[in-house]
Amino acid sequence: MSLLEARGLSKRFGGLQAVHDLSFALAEGEMLGLIGPNGAGKTTAFNLLSGFLRPDAGSVSFRGRPLVGLKPHAICRLGLARTFQLVRPFPRMSALDNVKVGALARHAHPAAAAARAAAVLERVGLAGKQGVRAAGLTLAERKRLELARALATEPTLLLLDEVMAGLNPAETETMVQLIGRIHADGVSILLIEHNMRAVMALSHRILVLSFGERIAEGPPAAIANHPKVIEAYLGEEYVGTAPA
């Protein structure tokens, strides 16, 4: 049985079909990459899977349980956690307290949640930043804080939304290694990522979205040479370089 299965997911915003008839499965222990040009519907797909948006059509099952209609916190308690592309930590709260918010999903006792949060901060390389307010962290540290907040909920499946965006090459490499370690510890991962080298290195399989639809799926090497994928990304490049 798949750990996560989406069938026929669709979501429309007014006249825009953001996600259309999306079906895929993720096996236990898998690292699945999700790529596609800006606006392809990747974050919307995450919102549908994690209960932040309700699909217009389609179903999601996680460990055999239907998720549509459940609130995000209930889905999180079942073991599905996600990070946000636009990280918004509580800026005046310490790194530790930010992560403690995630840990409280599992540990009702504040001391137990704090201990869990400290352990997770150490795991993401922020042990020395426990008392620093989130607003005082660098972007790379805030990305790791966001990862820690999700990890503190003790997920079976982690959905990562562009956790490497804005990082320099050295910070990106640190993040790739960290994601690899989290996966090796037994967490299944669905990874939205624009950094092709990172997503190719980490993923077992890659799913490609364009205009809300799945246009390709396969192992990294096949995806890198897939004509539809090349076309979708060339399109984005042309848009990006078109005269104003």
Ligand X SMILES: Nc1ncnc2c1ncn2[C@@H]1O[C@H](COP(=O)(O)OP(=O)(O)O)[C@@H](O)[C@H]1O
Q: Which is nearer to ligand X, 23 or 38 (CB)?
A: 38
Q: Does 153 interact with Mg ion (rule: CB under 5 A)?
A: no
Identify the H or E element spanning 24.
strand 16-26
- The CA distance from 164 to 51, in Å, is 23
Q: Which is nearer to ligand X, 43 or 83 (CB)?
A: 43
155 phi, psi to nearest 5 deg: -75, 155
Extract the tokens encoding 176. 């790739």
- The CA distance from 87 to 212, in Å, is 23
Q: How far is the CB of 14 from ligand X (least distance, A)?
A: 7
Q: How far is the CB of 84 from Mg ion (least distance, A)?
A: 10
Q: Does 195 interact with Mg ion (rule: CB under 5 A)?
A: no
Q: Which is nearer to ligand X, 36 or 102 (CB)?
A: 36
Q: Does 210 interact with Mg ion (rule: CB under 5 A)?
A: no
Decide which of ligand X, Mg ion, none touches 58; Cβ closer than 5 to 8 Å per partner kind. none
Check if the beta carbon of residue 32 is closer than 8 Å to that of residue 187. no
Q: Which is nearer to Mg ion, 38 or 177 (CB)?
A: 38
Q: Which is nearer to ligand X, 53 or 121 (CB)?
A: 53
Q: Does 43 interact with Mg ion (rule: CB under 5 A)?
A: yes
- The CA distance from 64 to 53, in Å, is 20
- The CA distance from 112 to 212, in Å, is 42
**Count of residues that bind Mg ion according to CB under 5 A:** 3
DSSP labels for 186-208? T-EEEEE-S-HHHHHHH-SEEEE
Extract the tokens encoding 81. 């956690």
Q: Does 203 interact with Mg ion (rule: CB under 5 A)?
A: no
Q: Which of residues 79-118 bind Mg ion (CB under 5 A)?
A: 85
List residues near ligand X by CB under 6 A. 13, 16, 18, 36, 38-44
Residues found near Mg ion in the complex (CB under 5 A): 42-43, 85
